[in-house]
Amino acid sequence: MGELHTWAGVVLGVLLFAVFWTGSLSVFDKEIDRWMMPSTRLHWDDSMQRPSLDRDIRLLLEQRAANAPVWTIILPLERTPFLTLTYGSEESRKSSRDLFNPITLEPLAKPLTLGASGFIYPFHHNLTLRYKNIGAWLVGIAGMAMLCLLVSGVVIHRKLFSEFFTLRLHRAFGRSTLDVHNVAGVALLPFHLLITLSGLIVAFAIYYPDAPQHTYREQVQSGVSAERAFLGEALGRIRLRAAKQPGELAPLEPMVTKAEQYWGPGSVYLLRVNNPKDANGNVLLRRTSHSSVTKDIDNFRFASVSGEVIGRFQASATVNTWNFIAGLHYIQFRHDALRWLYFLGGLGGCVVIATGLFFWTQARRKKQQRHGHLGVSLLDTLSVAGVCGVILATLAFLLANRWLPMQEQLFGLGRARVEILSFYALWLVASAHAVWRVMQDPRLGYLHAWREQCTAIALLAVLAVLANWLTTGDHLLATLRSGNGPVAGTDLCLLAAAALALLAAHKLRRRVPQEETLEVAHV
């Protein structure tokens, strides 16, 4: 168990850190979106009058995508305070997306960014490596390794209870690092078990694609895909074919009223009109998951021409168990305090992973360097590049968002793509810096690398706050005064990150002479 804990952590620690870091940020993905998309910094609450579906929204759809085979209407919510209309084909439902002010129905300026929900969140679950789900598999392997690390950690730390109360920050670096690793690991163990296991379970279709094959054998023999039959029965995902005959779409408001008679007022947040101009078209209504932990997948389906109910899907108790687990991971429920706890728990995971990596290198440094082994130098480099590198890359993403000119095309690429390239480019530079520092001085280069990158984090975080002020006029005092929580919160978190990074850089600066003295004493 000890070896499993050590090597799973060493081999997959850096990947796990990136997943936990982006996962923690994804807790506030929609709030970071408000920071990155100034045109969407609006206010909405449930007491406000929704735009009329038939009078206002349908007109917008007819003007913009009269012949699209699918219309999706996402009504404004507190965390997404704008109206979203998407038009696309059955295969690609997000091919075109427009945002509108929910009160005036004026189109909002195109954000020209994927934002946190379009880049940081996908990075968290698939590393943006979508080809054959390679990224999702890597994240899955890291997730399973995390579960093994948590269980094996409990087994190898026999004095778990006493370790929980042992935190000696002023002792030697190795000792204090291990104490932080143990205390954070033990205190957050239930949260980390829950979040890791739920993260794997929500992506079951990727990790166990053949699961329905035996149970749905009869359907397979009659030519129906087992996966499709399972998704239809368990999750209500069905597709109805178009009749290829013209049809007139019935009013949408009565459909919403009908569904809300069962679900409660204001509970419908999404309408999907499949084949709006076809005689066999249908309208799917989904309800929000704001008032419960369980992710709600229930839906109503109406015939688009007659407006009659043609189907109502209600998840079974077993499927709702999965929905509950998924809801625990997706955090779509409305509870700010819990959201902050999730965020802090995720950052705690980052601390556990990073301190685990430090402890491994600290414990082996002298022995391996005496024998000329490269293991410690390699892990020093990976730790700096993996921990500071991904934080710097995130800051580069935010800075690029604020500093790049608001043009659809930049350097021959879409603006959103240039932001993503900035993320990877700075990560690459941070990695090269770590390699250079560690190679330059295998004994103490890692300390210089940590210190310099911590300083860079502090600098970029402050620059991001300034960039937001200069490009939008929304400085911190103004956003605090106006109650613009998402933007003020993001700025405050950036300033807190800068302060912590400066503190770390300061402590590392004091540590270099101490290490040099120790080295001389050993010689």
Nearer to other proteins, 17 or 216 (CB): 216
Pick from 16, 37, 83, 200 the residue near other proteins by CB under 8 A.
Answer: 200
In 121-216, the DSSP E strands lie at none
> Is residue 7 a contact residue for other proteins (CB under 8 A)?
yes
CB-CB contact of 294 with 328 (8 Å): no
The answer to whether residue 19 forms part of the interface with other proteins (CB under 8 A) is: no
Q: Which is nearer to other proteins, 213 or 407 (CB)?
A: 213
Which residue in 20, 21, 216, 358 binds other proteins (CB under 8 A)? 216
In terms of CB distance, is 1 or 109 closer to other proteins? 1
Minimum CB separation of residue 382 from other proteins in Å reads 18
Which residue of 1, 59, 341, 432 would you call a contact of other proteins, by CB under 8 A?
1
CB 137 to other proteins: min, Å = 10
Binder of other proteins out of 42, 105, 194, 211 (CB under 8 A):
211
> Which positions from 308 to 327 touch other proteins by CB under 8 A, shown as an x/- string?
--------xxxx-xx--x--
CB of 343 to other proteins, least distance (A): 24
Instruction: Work out how close the CB of 216 gets to other proteins at its nearest, in angstroms, rounded to a whole number.
Output: 6
Written as one letter, the residue type at 333 is F
Is residue 26 near other proteins by the rule CB under 8 A? no
Q: Strands across the sheet with 96-100, in order?
A: 96-100, 83-88, 70-74, 268-274, 282-287, 299-303, 309-313
Q: Is 131 in the site for other proteins (CB under 8 A)?
A: no
Q: DSSP string spanning 377-402?
A: HHHHHHHHHHHHHHHHHHHHHHHHHH
Query: What phi and psi, each to the nearest 5 degrees, are found at residue 83?
Result: -90, 130
CB 194 within 8 A of CB 176: no
Helices (H) and strands (E) in the chain, counts: 20, 9
What is the residue-wise DSSP string for 175-238? HHHHHHHHHHHHHTHHHHHHHHHHHHHHTHHHH-TTTTTTTTHHHHHTT--HHHHHHHHHH---
Stretch of residues binding other proteins (CB under 8 A), selected from 139-147, 159-167, 437-445, 451-459? 139-147
Piece in contact with other proteins (CB under 8 A), picked from 23-31, 202-210, 287-295, 473-481: 202-210
Residue 217 binds other proteins, judged by CB under 8 A: yes
Beta carbons of 45 and 78 less than 8 angstroms apart: yes
Contact predicate 101/82, CB 8 Å? yes
Report the nearest approach of other proteins to the CB of residue 443 (Å). Answer: 24
Q: How far is the CB of 198 from other proteins (least distance, A)?
A: 10
Q: What is the largest CA-CA distance in the chain?
A: 88
Round to the nearest angstrom and report the end-to-end CA distance of the chain. Answer: 36
In the complex, the smallest distance separating the C-beta of residue 369 from other proteins, rounded to whole angstroms, is: 19
CB 198 within 8 A of CB 372: no
Which of 105, 189, 201, 363: binder of other proteins (CB under 8 A)?
201
Residue closer to other proteins by CB (options 100, 322) is: 322
Shortest reach from residue 360's CB to other proteins, in Å? 17
Contacts of 73 (CB under 8 A, 6+ apart): 53, 57, 61, 83, 84, 85, 270, 271, 272, 273
The whole-angstrom separation of Cα 493 and Cα 394 is 13
| Between 151 and 404, CB nearer to other proteins | 151
Q: Is residue 4 a contact residue for other proteins (CB under 8 A)?
A: yes
Residue 321 beta carbon to other proteins: minimum distance, rounded to whole angstroms: 7
3-state secondary structure of 145: helix
Per CB under 8 A, which region of 193-201, 253-261, 278-286, 502-510 contacts other proteins? 193-201
Q: Output the smallest distance, CB 376 to other proteins, in A.
A: 17
Angle at 285 between CA 280 and CA 291, to 5 degrees: 170
Which one of 93-101, 143-151, 266-274, 286-294 is the stretch in contact with other proteins (CB under 8 A)?
143-151
Q: How far is CA 499 from CA 457, 458, 496, in A?
A: 10, 7, 5
Select the residue interacting with other proteins from 42, 103, 147, 279 (CB under 8 A).
147
Q: Name the helix (H) or strand (E) containing 122.
A: helix 121-126
- Name residue, tokens 């009013």: 251
Nearer to other proteins, 316 or 514 (CB): 316
Half-sphere exposure in the Cβ direction for 225 (13 Å, CA):
7
Any contact of residue 400 with other proteins (CB under 8 A)? Answer: no
Q: For the residues of 16-36, what is the DSSP string, one character each?
A: HHHHHHHHHHHTTHHHHHHHH
What mask of x and - would describe binding to other proteins in positions 218 to 237, judged by CB under 8 A? -----------xx--xx---
Residues of the shown chain interacting with other proteins in the complex, contacts defined by CB under 8 A:
1, 3-4, 7, 141, 144, 147-148, 151-152, 197, 200-201, 204, 207-208, 210-217, 229-230, 233-234, 316-319, 321-322, 325
